[in-house]
Amino acid sequence: MTKLESLQKQFRTALQRLEEVLAEPKTNVIRDAAIKRFEFTFDLAWKTIRAFLDTRHGITCRSPKECFREAYHQGPIEYDDMWVQMTDWRNRIVHEYSQEFADELYEKLPKLCQLFTQLETTLTP
């Protein structure tokens, strides 16, 4: 199994786990679990894109934003500001956790999950 295939498999699993928790009724525990699963899914999304760009196009990117921008140009994702905003939200929730922002981010997770699903579909051979 190649590095790209391994990351695709891990990304698919993380996405399924995020979808699973979002199907549950919201409580503080479910919200926090969903946000943690978002973090895992986000990290695997950009690392999968990085491996895809390197493997298929010989392009090296070092950060999530750089990978998302390059992915716009190469086609695995369509341009959407949410990808870049997602990076900021992920960093914010990790470094300055607040109940208010956690609630705001939780409300965005279904839309972000759709973007992850589109990415997963696009990257699946």
- What range defines the domain where residue 111 resides? 3-123
pLDDT for residue 38: 97
CB proximity list for 55: less than 8 A, separation 6 or greater: 2, 3, 4
HSE toward the beta carbon, residue 90, CA cutoff 13 A = 20
Among candidates 84, 75, 73, which has minimal Cα distance to 112?
84
Number of domains observed in the structure of the chain: 1
Task: List, for residues 79-121, the tens digit of each pLDDT value.
Answer: 778 899 999 999 999 898 789 999 999 999 999 999 999 999 9
CB proximity list for 90: less than 8 A, separation 6 or greater: 38, 39, 42, 43, 64
Q: What is the CATH number of the domain that holds 38?
A: 1.20.120.330
